[in-house]
Amino acid sequence: MITAAVLCPHPPLLLRELTGRADPGADLRVACVAAVAEACEGAERAVVIGGDDTTAQWDESSRLRAARFGGSPGHASPPPADADSAPDLPLSLGIGRRLLDDAGWSGPSMFLGVSWEASDAEVQELAERIVAIEGRVLLLILGDGSARRGEKAPGYLDERAFDFDDSLAKALDTGDAASLAGLDVALASELMVFGAAGLRVMGAVALRQGEPSRASLTYNDDPFGVSYFIAVWRF
Amino acid sequence: MLTLGRHSFADTDLLVMAIVNRTRDSFYDHGATFEDAAALERVHRVVEEGADLVDVGGVKAGPGEEVDAEEEIRRTAGFVASVRAEFPDLVISVDTWRAEVAREVCRAGADVLNDAWGGHDPALAEVAAEFDAALVCTHTDGAVPRTPPHRPAYDDVVAAAVHDTVALAERAVKLGVNRDSVLVDPAHDFEKNTWHSLELIRRLDELVATGWPVLVSLSNKDFVGETLDLPVDARVTGTLAATAVCAWQGARVFRVHEVEQTRQSLDMVASIRGHREPALVVRGLA
C-alpha cells in the first residue's frame, strides 16, 4: 500500500560537492529533504522512480558517482573498488538515493529506472508492480518540468513550456492522477521535460491506488530556466 | 606549511605579496607611495584587493638616489609600526639587505625579511632568527646591491639559483630561523638577462623540487618588457602570464604591483590545479 508519493527534481546542482564555493541549490535541497523526511514517516519501505535510458531495477547498494559530473579532484569520491558489484545509479535515482540519505531514511529501498520513452503498457506494468508491493510504501519520484523556460535555459526558450508546466503544477497541487498518467509524451519530449516518465508512473500508480486524500505542491520555481516542482501526495 | 610571522599557510595556498615602495624613484610607481599617507592608503587598497602580505621597501632596487641605513630605517620602520597598528593580522615583509635595518623593522612588527640581494649582509639571517621572522633567500650571484646586470653568464642559471638559494636557506636554518619560515627566490632579472629570467620560469619546477617554498618577483620587470617589446607601463598582461606559469609549476608567493589581477590569475590556476573550488558552478547542472 502506498502511503505517500513525493515528487522532487533531480538537477546535479543538488549535490553540494558540484557547485563550488557557493551553494545555489541550498534552498531547493532543504525543501526536497523536508518533503522526503515528512513522507518517510510511517513508511516501511521506499520505492524510488526516476527516468533513465532503459527501464530497469537497480541494486539497492548502488550509489550515484557524483564525480562523473565533476567536483574538485581532492573532494570527488573515488569510483567503487569493484564497479561490477555496485554499478553507478543514473542521475535521477542517484539524487533520490541522496535525498533519502539526507532525510535520514534507513529502511529498505527499491530503485526503478523508467525509460524516457516508456510505452503506456510499460508504465501500466510498472504501476501494477508497485501497487502490489506489500507493506507501507513511500514512493519517491524524481522528475523536472520543462528545461526550455528562458533564453538562458538549457534548452533555450519555448513559449509552450509555460502552459505545459502550469498544467503540470495544477495537477500536482490537486492530486489529479489522470492528468499525470495521460501526459502528452511527445510534447514533453520537445519541451525537454526530464520528468515525464516518472510523472506518468506516479499518475498510473495513483489511479490504481485511489485518488490521494491530500495533495500539495510545496515548491514551484525555475531559477535556472528549468522547472522544479516538489509535491507530496498522501493516500 | 609555511609560517610567516603570525600566520601559517597551507602548502596549496598561493599568496599575493603586494609591493609598497617607500621610495621616490622606484621603476614602476615613481614615488607614488613615498609619503606616509599614500603608502598607508595603498596598504588599505591591496588588503581589500586580496593581498596576503605587503612588502615594504625603502630603497630602489636599481641605481639611484643614495639611501643610507639611517634613511632606510626612517622610511620603513615607522611605517611598519603604523601598518602593524592598523592591521594587527596582516603579514608584513620588508625588502632590505641590511641587518641594521632588519633589526629595526622587526622591532616595529615586521614578519618577513625579504633579503632581495642574496645574503649580501650575512648578519641579516641572524636578525631573522633573533626575531623569529621569516626569511627570503635570493639568488643574485653575489651581485653588489643596486647594480644592474652587466654581461651575466652561467653554465646553468637554474642550477646556480638552486645551489645558492638552498645554501642560503640551509645556513639560515642553522642560524636558528624556523625551517617553515624560509623561502627561496630565483630573483628574476637580478644579475640575469632576459634569457636567464625566461629560463628560470621555464624550469621553475627544479627550484620547487628542492622543497623550499618558492617566491617569485616578476612584476612588470624588464624581462617582460624585452620579451614583448613593451614599456614599463604596458607589462601587466605579460606579468600575469609569467605568474600563471610559475604558479602552475609550484611557486607559492608572488611579489606584485597589481594585486587584484594577480589574485584572479592565481585563483584561476589554483582551480585548474584542483586546489581551489570554483566560486559557483551551475552551467550544465540545472
CA distance A228 to chain B (A): 10
Query: What are the phi and psi torsion angles at B60 (to 5°)?
Result: -60, 140
What pLDDT, in 10s, does the model give residues B214-256?
999 999 999 999 999 999 999 999 999 999 999 999 999 999 9
Q: Do B286 and A225 touch (CB under 8 A)?
A: yes
> A154: nearest CA in chain B?
B284
Q: Do A13 and B278 touch (CB under 8 A)?
A: no
- Is 60 exceeded by the pLDDT of residue B68? yes
Residue A130's pLDDT is 96
> B279: nearest CA in chain A?
A21
Helices of type H across chain B: 36-49, 69-86, 99-108, 123-131, 157-175, 194-202, 204-208, 222-228, 236-249, 259-273
Angstrom distance (rounded) from CA B97 to CA A142: 67
A224 vs B contacts (CB less than 8 Å): 282, 286
Angstrom distance (rounded) from CA A220 to CA A77: 31
Please work out, in degrees rounded to the nearest 5, the angle formed at the alpha carbon of residue A219 by the alpha carbons of A111 and A209. Answer: 50
Using alpha carbons, select from A202, A209, A197 the residue that is nearest to residue A235: A209
Angstrom distance (rounded) from CA A205 to CA B82: 74
Q: Is B50 exposed, middle or buried (0-12, 13-18, 19+ CB in 10 A)?
A: middle
Q: Do B285 and A147 touch (CB under 8 A)?
A: no
Looking at this predicted complex, what is its ipTM? 0.84
User: B33: which residues sit within 8 A by CB, 6+ positions away?
Assistant: B20, B21, B22, B39, B41, B42
Angstrom distance (rounded) from CA B141 to CA B143: 6
Q: Do B286 and A226 touch (CB under 8 A)?
A: yes
Q: Do A11 and B285 touch (CB under 8 A)?
A: yes
CA distance B171 to chain A (A): 36
Residue A55 near residue B255 (C-beta atoms within 8 A): no
Stated pTM of the model: 0.88
Among B274, B275, B281, whose Cβ lies nearest the Cβ of A19?
Answer: B281
Q: At what angle do helices B236-249 and B259-273 cross, to 10 degrees?
A: 30
Kindly give the confidence (pLDDT) of every residue in chain A, 235 residues in length, as a single tens digit, with 9 standing for 90 and above. Answer: 999 999 999 999 999 999 999 999 999 999 999 999 999 999 999 999 999 999 999 999 999 998 888 888 765 455 555 555 667 999 999 999 999 999 999 999 999 999 999 999 999 999 999 999 999 999 999 999 999 999 999 999 999 999 999 999 999 999 999 999 999 999 999 999 998 999 999 999 999 998 899 999 999 999 999 999 999 999 9
